[in-house]
Structures are given as C-alpha cells and as structure tokens.
Structure 1
Amino acid sequence: MKRLGLIVVLGLAMAGCARTPGPEAPPAAPFATQISYSTGPCFGACPVYAFTVQANGDGSFEGKRFTQTGGTKRFKLSRADYDAFAAALAPYRPAPGTSRRYSQGEKGCERAATDLPSAEVTWVGPDGKSQLYYYFGCDMEANRAMADAIGNAPDLIPALAPLIGERP
C-alpha cells in the first residue's frame, strides 16, 4: 500500500513538470550558407570594403578605400563567429528571393541625413538569395536598432579588425 501511495505521489509530481503548450514559436530565420557585406563611401574617410563569409569558415575581404589592408585577402572564421554575425543581421533579412532598400526617398527613409555611408548585405542559402541595402542616414532615430546591428555586425568577426582598421 505504501508503494502504491509513493507511485501515485511520484506520478503527480512528474505531471506537474509536464510542459504545457504555449504560443507557437516564430519560424526560424532561413539559414544562409554565405553572407556578403559591402560598405559604400561617405563624405570623409569612411572605410569602403566588401567581404564574404561562408558557414564553412572561409572568408574573403576586399579593401577598397580607407582600410588598413587594400586588395583582396582570404581569412578564416570560426563557426561561432559566423553564427553570431548571421544572428545579428537575421532580424533585417528580407524573405528569400526578395530585396529591401532603405535609401533616400524610399519607404522607411522619408527623412535622411546626407553624406553618410551605406551597407549592402546579401544572404545566399538553400532557400534562395535575399538582399538588403541600408543607407545609414535614413530616419536615424526610427532606424537606430537596425543601423547599430548592421553597422556593428563586422565587429563580430575578429579576423576583420586588422583588415578594416580604424573606423570613424
């Protein structure tokens, strides 16, 4: 009888640990096997460069203007660095097969400061390609989180710092 009581008590205790279904989680962002990132010039000495990183750890950098390293250089990155970079940009990735522009006069950029740089990001994965163009002068307060995420994303790849050099 004691055993039966113990079994019932343990069963009830385990039932209390059962997970109740909650709201459905949002779908995961599409996985990109390759991400390309390039910057545009500003009025001043903003670094202008492009790089491509792949989930397998391969990277390629091209310094164009005002970078520590000019020309094309190959580099390696860890999977953790790739995943952090991809995760920082994921909230702003357009649906596969589409593109989104934040440029002067376009939706999301009705008010814009002039002479600032831009960034273009291209994701390529098994679900297709998507592109984002972002001008850093677009509605600066309204788009602060996006500007910070896009502008700071290269910092998540340590191998880029000595190639890009100082950024204003």
Structure 2
Amino acid sequence: MRIMVVLVVAGAMLGGCIPQVAPQDRPAPAGPARPAPPPPIASGTPAAPAAPVIRGEMIRYATSPCFGACPVYAVTVRPDGTGTFEGQRFTAVTGARDFRVSPAQYEAFLTRLAPYRPRSGSLRYVPGEPACGQSATNMPSVEVQWDGRAGHRALSFYFGCDRARHRAMADALGSAPDLLPITAMIGARP
C-alpha cells in the first residue's frame, strides 16, 4: 500500500509539467507553416480571434512553477536575432544567458504563437476566469508577451484549464520553446 501511495504521488508530481509534443518522423516543410487557429470553445463562448503574424515583435515567454520539478525560466527573443534565457528553477542553466536565433527560428517561434496572440490587450486562461472553465490543480502556466509597433499584448495560460477543450493551445504553447536553440539550457523536462 505504501508503495502505491508513493507511485501515485510521484506520478502527480512529474505529470504536472508543461506538455511536450513528440517530434514527428516526417521532414519539416521548407518554410514555417501557419498554424491553424484555435478551435472554438465548446461552452458557446467564441474563441478569441487569432491575431495576424506581426514581424518585428519582441516576444517574452515565461513559465511558472508547478507541484513538482517543472523548469521555471523566461526567454526573450528579439527580431534582430538576439535572445536571452533566464533559468530560475529546475533548469540546466540558472541565471541569464544570451543566445542567437536564425531568422527561420525566430519566424517559426513567432508563427507557432501567433494564433494565441490577442488582437489587443491581454487574454487570461487561468482558474476563476470564464475562459478557463474546469481546471486541474498543481499545473504550471506560461505568460507570453508581444511588444512591438502594434503595442503590448499578453497571454496568460494555465496548463490545467479545461485540458480537453484547450489541448491544441496547450500543445502549441508547450512546444514553442523547442523551436529555439535553448533546449540544453532548459535541460530535462519530466
């Protein structure tokens, strides 16, 4: 019985991290593909309209803690090809590290996040907000900010918000950092 309790608790601790999308075995397309817009919300509330890709924006992507060993970090990517990784907890690198991104990497990251960029202001998919619905506890979240000529936009997304309804968004947001040359700085993800 004691072993069963330990296994259940360990599974809960490790299962709460940002979902990772398994790489596909087919070759990547020549250029980044435009992702499909998020599906409509099943509760009758329409999904937020996808904002167009706006080149020249600085993007900041920051994760939060969970109940477990989820990596906590922030990464900022600029259109000039510079980036900064800031490891905070459960990352292979702690502190700030600068890196470079190719135009293709910047474009892929920008395009992966574009369907979830608000047209204006901020969107929040967090417990207690109507867009969240039923939520699982002890999950991490991500805060994405876009800054540029079009102004400031922000998205807060809690990975426990109605997991079935927001699966496409969770997959896109969770896999976006894999498009940048920072996987070695993030390290192992449970």
Q: TM-score, normalised by structure 2?
A: 0.72
Q: 2:179 aligns with which of 156, 162, 166?
A: 156
C-alpha separation in 2, matches of 1:138 and 1:61: 26
SS at match of 1:124: strand
What residue is the counterpart of 1:101 in the other structure? 124
Deviation (angstroms), 1:114: 0.3
Q: 1:60 aligns with which of 78, 81, 84?
A: 84
Q: Greater CA radius of gyration, 1 or 2?
A: 1
Choose between structure 1 and 2: higher helix proportion: 1
> Quick check: 1:114 aligned with 2:148?
no
CA RMSD across the alignment: 1.4
1:77 counterpart letter in structure 2: V
Residues 128-150 of structure 1: CA distance to partner in whole angstroms, max 9, x if unpaired? 01000000000000000000000
Aligned 8 A contact 2:142 2:158 in 1: yes
C-alpha separation in 2, matches of 1:162 and 1:115: 25
Query: In 2 relative to 1, CA 65–161 (structure 1 residues): closer, same or farther, beyond 3 Å?
Result: same
What residue is the counterpart of 1:20 in the other structure? none
**Paired residues for 1:12-23 under 5 Å:** none
Deviation (angstroms), 1:107: 1.6
- Runs of 4+ in structure 1 deviating by more than 6 angstroms, as ranges, are none
Aligned 8 A contact 1:105 1:111 in 2: no
SS at match of 1:137: coil
SS at match of 2:182: helix
The gaps in structure 2 that reach 5 residues or longer are 1-49
**Paired residues for 1:110-149 under 5 Å:** 110-149=133-172
2:106 counterpart letter in structure 1: Y
2:183 counterpart letter in structure 1: A
C-alpha separation in 1, matches of 2:51 and 2:132: 28
What residue is the counterpart of 1:75 in the other structure? 99
> Quick check: 1:51 aligned with 2:82?
no
Q: 2:113 aligns with which of 89, 93, 103?
A: 89
Query: In 2 relative to 1, CA 28–92 (structure 1 residues): closer, same or farther, beyond 3 Å?
Result: closer
Query: In 2 relative to 1, CA 141–27 (structure 1 residues): closer, same or farther, beyond 3 Å?
Result: closer
SS at match of 1:119: strand
What is the aligned-residue identity percentage? 51
SS at match of 1:116: coil
State how many pairs are aligned.
141
Query: In 2 relative to 1, CA 27–154 (structure 1 residues): closer, same or farther, beyond 3 Å?
Result: closer
